[in-house]
A and B are shown apart, each in its own frame.
Chain A
């Protein structure tokens, strides 16, 4: 018979304002097996924990129930407190009377009744708890970073500097990511490439970093400390070891009409290409969908001109399998598609462009060699209109409900740079709100207005109408002046919403990492664990977790690296003791459980079983507790109930059901 203690937390007024905690204590004392019950303002505090320890010692408690906040908050705290007091940590159950009760109910009587029932269910469960011992598993001292943008590069460098091996997997032919496409960065107006390329070189040269470009993660198995990952290294058709990066192949390639992804399709590249001049590795790839050799079998010019003999048309995709202790997701973002925003005439006029396209136009390596010109006729624009919040803050399915965060600042940057370089060009910005929280951000925006004469108009644009003379008529509103505005423009720039890279859902599924409705990866706790995924061993870096600018991304990348280092520094990890267990006497050996186990943790052995005097060889299921993650899929396939889950046993859950339905 268990001796159970019940501890009811007030959580200040968070619980006590809605739940009559004294009443819950009173009701707890009526429960069978409850020998101690008390309430306290903050159970999680040092003083609260010592009360628990004191009760364990005085009353010889064998199990405790804490009625408090979610077990996702403080289960670990109370388990540790119990352990310190000499009680097995798995003899602790939490009744969630805050998130699931006091915070969502207003009526005191009703909330108290519910809290009592939740307490009873936890008491009923703890009656059937058994002491559990955590096992141990080894940690593979190597990390994987998925994505080779600034987030991935920074995370990798930080981990590598701490002395651990890191692999970067990047799906495009070069690392560098979105930042490599930017011209200047706010609010300092640094040249983006000038600050990024040293980082790229550092990563490439680092003895602890291995970079797999033009590669994708294909399969992930295992768990924290012991992931096994298949990486597909797509065939480049160019031997990295031999190529000298001379670029002759690209010059001579006869297939030159392929939209250049790096320049957002604003100009063309050849079929064999490196995405940009500072690419790392500086080794081209052959785009087989455009290569004449691959399409017709005839050509082979690149092979002929390559003095290093690096071209190999027979190269195959290669799948490598590596083991990692931790995985960092740094898959970044793209701008949303604007197909559904017909009113802005994007796609109808070449002179309506996105801000990222403007970055390429302004960049010396871009399609216009850095000259600001209309893409339709190459003329210098005299009137430029910027439209903010295109697809951001939209509650309909055309756009995204969130604020993309970076647009206000980069628009101010663009406006300022244009006014600086082309003083006779007028710049108008239509905005809803200008959001500039950040160091030197508002000052930067004010400079654009005050020093550079950028015309900010509060109001949205309703429609952009391409005119027969090639200009654009912008119909907007000035809400402060109460005037509808018809403005002739030569160029319109759309501050297009950003969204997580489309591949992220696939990757999240492989990692079993949780993802929200906007495809941003979910953090383990929005405030206290912002760089960790709820899936142990998976960490988040950069925009894959939420919109952010470069300094924030770099800060988060470093934070993720610290978490990874903290994990890799351990030799062994404690494993979850709540694993499946098979009762040999009941097992039929039917293999149904093994069929549903996602970890291959169940195997079969023929064993001599003594079943109440009947001795016979039986085929029985055996669970490898190091592999079992405790999902419980096997328990339900087992018709005889031989397979059960420790910590969530059939009898425990049924006891909870009974207590709730009593």
Chain B
């Protein structure tokens, strides 16, 4: 597909757990399953390592979307990490929605080490979604000052 450099290219931060999702991203790579270069991956040991502050910081610094990927519930390398992450992110996303911030800019997806296809599909659909939302304005400043 030809690349249109004029269109809106969002900045997307993907936090991937080392054991499943980062490996899933590697598999997507070795299987040459393309997804937009807008996605930049940060490796964390587990989805439960992701502090909501990291996500808010990304938005404050200009990210247009943040996605968190971890092992499927029940398959966490550390047994229970993704269960905590699931609660934290549910509450955080609900709060962002409450503040009137588009909830399409945040996502959690469980991607195993064997799911290269899912990783690629997830990133494609997430980038698509964020592109449709346009540049992030509201999450830049949750104090919401004018």
Could you say which residues of chain A place their CB within 8 Å of the CB of B58? 657, 660-661
Establish whether residues A598 and B79, one from each chain, have CB atoms under 8 Å apart when the complex forms.
yes
Q: In the docked arrangement, what's the CA distance between A578 and B13, Å?
A: 23
Could you say which residues of chain A place their CB within 8 Å of the CB of B78? 512, 598, 629, 631, 633
Contacts A512-B76, A657-B58 given; indicate if A633 touches B42 (C-beta within 8 A).
no
Could you say which residues of chain B place their CB within 8 Å of the CB of A514? 19-20, 71, 75, 77, 112-114
* A615 at the binding interface (Cβ < 8 Å): no
Interface membership of chain A positions 614-655, coded 1 if the CB is closer than 8 angstroms to chain B and 0 otherwise: 000000000000000111110111000000010010100110
Establish whether residues B45 and A105, one from each chain, have CB atoms under 8 Å apart when the complex forms.
no
**CB interface residues, B 20-69, toward A, < 8 Å:** 20, 22-23, 25-26, 28-30, 32-35, 37, 40-46, 48-54, 57-58, 61-63
Establish whether residues A632 and B23, one from each chain, have CB atoms under 8 Å apart when the complex forms.
no
Could you say which residues of chain A place their CB within 8 Å of the CB of B53? 650, 654
Contacts A99-B30, A107-B3 given; indicate if A653 touches B114 (C-beta within 8 A).
no
Q: How far is the CB of B28 from chain A (nearest CB, A)?
A: 7
Q: In the docked arrangement, what's the CA distance between A171 and B79, Å?
A: 24
Q: How far is the CB of A142 from chain B (nearest CB, A)?
A: 23
Q: In the docked arrangement, what's the CA distance between A110 and B22, Å?
A: 21
Establish whether residues A630 and B61, one from each chain, have CB atoms under 8 Å apart when the complex forms.
no
Establish whether residues A104 and B74, one from each chain, have CB atoms under 8 Å apart when the complex forms.
no
Contacts A512-B78, A598-B80, A629-B78 given; indicate if A636 touches B50 (C-beta within 8 A).
yes
Q: How far is the CB of A604 from chain B (nearest CB, A)?
A: 20
CB < 8 Å neighbour of B80 from A113, A121, A633, A657: A633
CB < 8 Å neighbour of A118 from B3, B40, B120: B40
- Interface locus among A80-88, A235-243, A515-523, A561-569: A515-523
Establish whether residues A105 and B114, one from each chain, have CB atoms under 8 Å apart when the complex forms.
no
Establish whether residues A72 and B84, one from each chain, have CB atoms under 8 Å apart when the complex forms.
no
Establish whether residues A121 and B40, one from each chain, have CB atoms under 8 Å apart when the complex forms.
yes
Establish whether residues B49 and A636, one from each chain, have CB atoms under 8 Å apart when the complex forms.
yes
Establish whether residues B23 and A534, one from each chain, have CB atoms under 8 Å apart when the complex forms.
yes
Q: In the docked arrangement, what's the CA distance between A479 and B42, Å?
A: 52
CB < 8 Å neighbour of B54 from A106, A598, A653: A653
* B106 at the binding interface (Cβ < 8 Å): no
Contacts A98-B29, A103-B29, A516-B114 given; indicate if A660 touches B13 (C-beta within 8 A).
yes
* B107 at the binding interface (Cβ < 8 Å): no
Establish whether residues A101 and B42, one from each chain, have CB atoms under 8 Å apart when the complex forms.
no
Establish whether residues B75 and A509, one from each chain, have CB atoms under 8 Å apart when the complex forms.
yes
Q: In the docked arrangement, what's the CA distance between A118 and B41, Å?
A: 8
* A535 at the binding interface (Cβ < 8 Å): yes
Residue of B nearest to A535 (CB): B77
Q: How far is the CB of B41 from chain A (nearest CB, A)?
A: 5
Interface membership of chain A positions 516-555, coded 1 if the CB is closer than 8 angstroms to chain B and 0 otherwise: 1100001000000000001100000000000000000000
Could you say which residues of chain A place their CB within 8 Å of the CB of B112? 514-517, 522
**CB interface residues, A 97-141, toward B, < 8 Å:** 98-101, 103-107, 110-111, 113-114, 117-118, 121
* B131 at the binding interface (Cβ < 8 Å): no
Establish whether residues A70 and B29, one from each chain, have CB atoms under 8 Å apart when the complex forms.
yes
CB < 8 Å neighbour of A632 from B42, B45, B71, B120: B45
Q: In the docked arrangement, what's the CA distance between A632 and B48, Å?
A: 6
CB < 8 Å neighbour of A631 from B11, B25, B42, B48: B48
Q: In the docked arrangement, what's the CA distance between A517 and B72, Å?
A: 10
Contacts A72-B23, A111-B37, A629-B78 given; indicate if A661 touches B62 (C-beta within 8 A).
yes
Contacts A508-B75, A509-B75 given; indicate if A633 touches B84 (C-beta within 8 A).
yes
Residue of A nearest to B33 (CB): A104
Contacts A72-B23, A110-B3, A650-B51 given; indicate if A636 touches B84 (C-beta within 8 A).
yes
**Consensus secondary structure, chain A interface:** helix
Q: In the docked arrangement, what's the CA distance between A516 and B118, Å?
A: 12
Contacts A104-B35, A106-B34, A631-B81 given; indicate if A657 touches B41 (C-beta within 8 A).
no
Establish whether residues A631 and B45, one from each chain, have CB atoms under 8 Å apart when the complex forms.
yes
Contacts A100-B25, A103-B29 given; indicate if A517 touches B114 (C-beta within 8 A).
yes
Could you say which residues of chain B place their CB within 8 Å of the CB of A443? none
Residue of B nearest to A656 (CB): B42
* A96 at the binding interface (Cβ < 8 Å): yes
Residue of B nearest to A631 (CB): B78
* A421 at the binding interface (Cβ < 8 Å): no
Q: In the docked arrangement, what's the CA distance between A635 and B40, Å?
A: 23
B interface residues, tally (CB under 8 Å): 52
Q: In the docked arrangement, what's the CA distance between A535 and B78, Å?
A: 10
Residue of B nearest to A647 (CB): B45
Establish whether residues A633 and B49, one from each chain, have CB atoms under 8 Å apart when the complex forms.
yes
Could you say which residues of chain A place their CB within 8 Å of the CB of B138? none
Could you say which residues of chain B place their CB within 8 Å of the CB of A632? 44-46, 48-49, 81
Residue of A nearest to B66 (CB): A657
Q: How far is the CB of B111 from chain A (nearest CB, A)?
A: 11
Could you say which residues of chain B place their CB within 8 Å of the CB of A596? 48, 80, 84
Could you say which residues of chain B place their CB within 8 Å of the CB of A631? 45-46, 48-49, 77-78, 81
Contacts A509-B75, A636-B84, A653-B54 given; indicate if A104 touches B49 (C-beta within 8 A).
no
* A187 at the binding interface (Cβ < 8 Å): no
Establish whether residues A633 and B44, one from each chain, have CB atoms under 8 Å apart when the complex forms.
no
* A71 at the binding interface (Cβ < 8 Å): yes
Establish whether residues B44 and A648, one from each chain, have CB atoms under 8 Å apart when the complex forms.
yes
* A662 at the binding interface (Cβ < 8 Å): yes
Establish whether residues B49 and A635, one from each chain, have CB atoms under 8 Å apart when the complex forms.
yes
CB < 8 Å neighbour of A105 from B19, B34, B42: B34
Residue of B nearest to A506 (CB): B74
* A658 at the binding interface (Cβ < 8 Å): yes
**CB interface residues, A 491-517, toward B, < 8 Å:** 505, 508-509, 512, 514-517
Q: How far is the CB of B31 from chain A (nearest CB, A)?
A: 9
Could you say which residues of chain B place their CB within 8 Å of the CB of A662? 61-62
Residue of A nearest to B43 (CB): A71
Q: How far is the CB of B109 from chain A (nearest CB, A)?
A: 14
Q: How far is the CB of A312 from chain B (nearest CB, A)?
A: 37
Residue of A nearest to B62 (CB): A661
CB < 8 Å neighbour of A636 from B19, B42, B48, B63: B48
CB < 8 Å neighbour of A657 from B3, B49, B52, B54: B54
Establish whether residues A104 and B32, one from each chain, have CB atoms under 8 Å apart when the complex forms.
yes
Establish whether residues A661 and B26, one from each chain, have CB atoms under 8 Å apart when the complex forms.
no
Could you say which residues of chain A place their CB within 8 Å of the CB of B19? 514, 534-535
Could you say which residues of chain A place their CB within 8 Å of the CB of B13? 657, 660-661
Q: In the docked arrangement, what's the CA distance between A101 and B63, Å?
A: 19
* B121 at the binding interface (Cβ < 8 Å): no
Q: In the docked arrangement, what's the CA distance between A104 and B81, Å?
A: 29
Q: How far is the CB of A382 from chain B (nearest CB, A)?
A: 46
Which 7 pairs, one residue from A and one from B, show the smallest C-beta to C-beta distance? A99-B29, A632-B49, A661-B61, A631-B78, A516-B114, A633-B48, A631-B46
Query: With contacts A72-B22, A104-B29, A104-B32 known, what are 11 further pairs, Cβ within 8 A?
Result: A96-B41, A104-B34, A106-B34, A107-B37, A113-B37, A516-B112, A534-B23, A653-B42, A653-B54, A657-B61, A660-B58
26 contacts between A and B (CB under 8 A): A99-B28, A99-B30, A111-B37, A117-B40, A508-B75, A514-B19, A514-B20, A514-B112, A517-B114, A534-B19, A535-B19, A578-B45, A632-B46, A633-B84, A636-B48, A636-B49, A645-B45, A654-B57, A657-B54, A657-B58, A658-B61, A660-B58, A661-B11, A661-B58, A661-B62, A662-B62
